[in-house]
Amino acid sequence: MQYRLNKYIAQSGICSRRDADELITSGKVQVNGKTVTELGFKVTEKDKVFVNKKLIHPQKHEYYRFYKPAGYITTSDDEKGRKTIYDVIPAELRHLKPVGRLDKDSSGLIILTNDGDLINALTHPSVKVPKIYIVSVDGRINAEHIRKMAAGIEIEPDKKAYADVTVIETSSNSTMMQVTLYQGLNRQIRKMFEHLGFKVKSLKRVQHATITIGDLKRGEVKPIKPLQIRELKRYLEKLSQNG
């Protein structure tokens, strides 16, 4: 069976097809010992394909939901020696990559996969993929705060962050909300509330595109069903066309 070279690279799990194209044109891909820069180049399972001098192999795509506990960073390695999500994820799944990040103090849903094209589709800034969080803050949020978050808050020089907010519950000294993001800025929710004078007490992601946290327990990993992946890919395709 023949594959386009960029698809072969993407199916190895190291990147998306779009990124594979860049690797090919920049001369970082060799097939059977020869550098290939032609995007339409075809290969088979018998060919030996190297990316940055490392032999790669196509993999069967895998998809999992993971409930990240607070206190872990979303990376495979940390030079400061902090605990990472790979201290929690079972050893047989540690070859999978997280789709996006949650900061150390946040918890909730992370999709794990070796499907480079799906990772790109879910995280590329040109496609506004919704991510939904349950957030609690100290203090009472009012309609003006919600309006400001929808209109955009400059959390860094020349960097505006937006969020759709729905209040779930209020008390005399705290507010629980559903917050929906369409961006992937670093610590976006915390910085937005900090700008408004509120401290985030807890932050949990409960949905990414069509995938929900469901009945997952903290630290638990479960496979995503094939039907859910097909629905997710159809949803992302529609978003891309509409965007």
The domain segmentation of the chain, as residue ranges, is 3-56, 63-125+210-242, 131-208
Beta bridge partners of 43: 3
> Residue 243: its pLDDT value, please?
60
Cα–Cα dist 217/124, whole Å: 28
Cα–Cα dist 179/163, whole Å: 6
Element (H, E) at 16: none
Whole-number CA gyration radius for the chain: 20
Task: State the fold for domain 63-125+210-242.
Answer: Alpha-Beta Plaits (3.30.70)
Taking each helix axis as running N to C, give the angle between helix 116-123 and helix 17-25, from 0 to 180 degrees, rounded to the nearest 10.
Answer: 110
Nearest by Cα to 8 from 39, 34, 35:
39
Q: Do 63-125+210-242 and 131-208 share a fold? A: yes
Q: Which of 47, 103, 105, 164 is catalytic?
A: 103
Active site residue 103: yes
Q: Going by C-beta distance under 8 Å and a sequence separation of 6 or more, which residues neighbour residue 146? A: 165, 167
> Residue 195: its pLDDT value, please?
96
Cα–Cα dist 74/86, whole Å: 8
CATH of range 131-208; options 3.30.70.1560, 3.40.50.2300, 3.30.230.10, 3.30.360.10: 3.30.70.1560
Q: Going by C-beta distance under 8 Å and a sequence separation of 6 or more, which residues neighbour residue 226? A: none
Task: State the fold for domain 3-56.
Answer: 3.10.290
Phi-psi region at 44: left, alpha or beta (left = phi > 0; alpha = psi -120 to 50)? beta
- Walk along the chain (243 residues) and give the pLDDT tens digit of each residue: 788 999 899 888 788 888 999 999 999 999 999 999 999 899 988 999 999 999 998 888 999 999 999 999 998 877 788 899 999 999 999 999 999 999 999 999 999 999 988 998 999 888 899 999 999 999 999 999 999 999 999 998 989 999 999 999 999 899 999 999 999 889 999 999 999 999 999 999 999 999 999 999 999 999 999 999 999 999 999 998 876
Cα–Cα dist 110/99, whole Å: 6
Nearest by Cα to 112 from 74, 63, 56:
63
Q: How many residues does the chain have?
A: 243
